[in-house]
Amino acid sequence: MAKFEVYTDSSGEFRFRLVASNGQNILSSQGYKAKASCLNGIESVRKNSQNDEMFERLKSSSGKDYFNIKASNGQVVGTSQMYASTAGMETGIASVKTNAPDAELVEE
């Protein structure tokens, strides 16, 4: 089963990542000063993962595909890994749509 992992980074900010059942990191958040804000970010991903319009499909300067998921206010709440192909990125988006709503919450 997929899970949201909440952790504190080296600068003391709270972050989350959505991890698939195979252990692969699907999505990572920005840093949050408050844990409550981090948890709100997770709820935003859960809610907005079902709306394809909330996914921003992008290409890095090195030509790799990746995506952001945005909150209803337009703010980016999660960024994917880099993918070698557009098809791989679309599979990543599908994984977020499938896994985010019911992913368990784990605090590290």
Residue 24 corresponds to which amino acid? Q
Domain that holds residue 67: 3-107
pLDDT (tens digit per residue) in 54-87? 999 999 999 999 999 999 999 999 999 999 999 9
- Cα–Cα distance measured from residue 13 to residue 89, given in angstroms and rounded to the nearest whole number: 27
Residue 78: both structure tokens together: 């999660």
pLDDT (tens digit per residue) in 18-55? 999 899 999 999 999 999 999 999 999 999 999 999 99
Q: pTM higher than 0.85 for the full model?
A: yes
Q: How many domains does the chain have?
A: 1
pLDDT (tens digit per residue) in 85-105? 999 999 999 999 999 999 999
- Cα–Cα distance measured from residue 9 to residue 92, given in angstroms and rounded to the nearest whole number: 24
Q: Could you say which DSSP state residue 101 is in?
A: G
Q: What is the pLDDT of residue 108?
A: 83
Residue 48: both structure tokens together: 């907005």
CA nearest neighbour of 82 among 98, 58, 100: 58
Domain with residue 66: its CATH number is: 2.30.29.80
